Structure 1
């Protein structure tokens, strides 16, 4: 494989990382917001969120990509391929993040909230000072797992013309009539990216253990 072909793969890797980070930057806090709505059991909104989560989790990502790119324009919202890919990844990962956050909230010790209420704390203040600092530590592992899944799911956006790692490898293989080298290289790149994420998780868990005296679950 030539250096030019390898540069094409690296460009695709950059696109993959950028799309994943953008999707996570939107999807993680959106998932938390959805989880808080369900945790608070807000009438109507709770059911709407539950329906959205169920529908998206049951929809293949490829189908969701095509829906965002081809169906939304008929509703007056036309997006270029890259913004459409970011919106799709964000809206796809948000329900999974929602369930991760919700599990952490559901299992949060009620006695701590009752103690905060007895001390005169508002629900917002109790969440900010008591729940949130513990919640992200509990949810760290599942959130990182969802991040790796999102990263590996980015090839689905190639269907709307976004050139990420897999699409770049496919183009190189088609041009050289030798698909094995570019796809092997793409596999190595994916492995390295996932390894970086996992290592970052371990570093954070080590910092948590050093500061609080225990590792994140």
Structure 2
């Protein structure tokens, strides 16, 4: 492949990275918020959030992207390509993250809660200093798996014209009539991105294990 083709692929990779990165960050925060709201067991809120989680997890990502970009304006919500892509990815990953966080919360030892409160800690202090660090450690493998899945699913945003790595690959293949080189190059870029993410997970788990000793 030519140098120009590599530059185009790296530009597409950057689009994939920043859209996925923003969605991952938002999904982690919103997922935690939903998990905490659901564990509070407020009937109406819990039921509404349960419906959202079920629908978001069951809806194909490409369908969600198309709905937000093409159908949402019918309901008065007009989004550009970037906003529609980020919102679709965020809604999708938030639902999965919420269940991962909620499982970690429910598995937290009740004895530790009682001991922390008995020592005079407020619920907020107990959560931030004791519960959240343990929840992060417990949830990390599942959260990282969800991050990698989201990145690998992000080519769905190309359907609305966003020039991500997959769309650039298709364009180069159409121009050169040689699909194999750009496809292999794109696969290599995806592998590098996922490998870096998994390496960061390993480093984080190692650091957390040392702190726990």
Q: TM-score, normalised by structure 1?
A: 0.95
Return the alpha-carbon distance in structure 2 between the equivalents of residues 81 and 136 of structure 1.
Answer: 32
Write out aligned runs for 1:9-158 (5 A).
Answer: 9-158=9-158
Write out aligned runs for 1:197-212 (5 A).
Answer: 197-212=197-212
Q: CA deviation at 1:120?
A: 3.7
Q: CA deviation at 1:75?
A: 1.2
Equivalent residue for 1:167?
A: 167
Return the alpha-carbon distance in structure 2 between the equivalents of residues 45 and 30 of structure 1.
Answer: 15
Return the alpha-carbon distance in structure 1 between the equivalents of residues 206 and 118 of structure 2.
Answer: 34
Q: CA deviation at 1:129?
A: 2.0
Q: CA deviation at 1:37?
A: 0.7
Q: CA deviation at 1:210?
A: 2.0
Q: How many residues align?
A: 213
Q: SS at the partner of 1:114?
A: helix
Q: CA deviation at 1:121?
A: 3.2
Q: CA deviation at 1:119?
A: 3.1
Q: CA deviation at 1:123?
A: 2.4
Q: CA deviation at 1:118?
A: 2.7
| 1:78-107 C-alpha deviation (Å, 9 max, x unpaired) | 011011101111111000000000010010
Structure 1 outlier segments of 4+, above 6 Å: none
Q: CA deviation at 1:135?
A: 0.9
Task: List gaps (5 residues or longer) in structure 2.
Answer: none
Q: CA deviation at 1:124?
A: 2.3
Task: List gaps (5 residues or longer) in structure 1.
Answer: none
Q: TM-score, normalised by structure 2?
A: 0.97
Relative to structure 2, which stretch is displaced further, 119-128 or 56-65? 119-128
Equivalent residue for 2:178?
A: 178
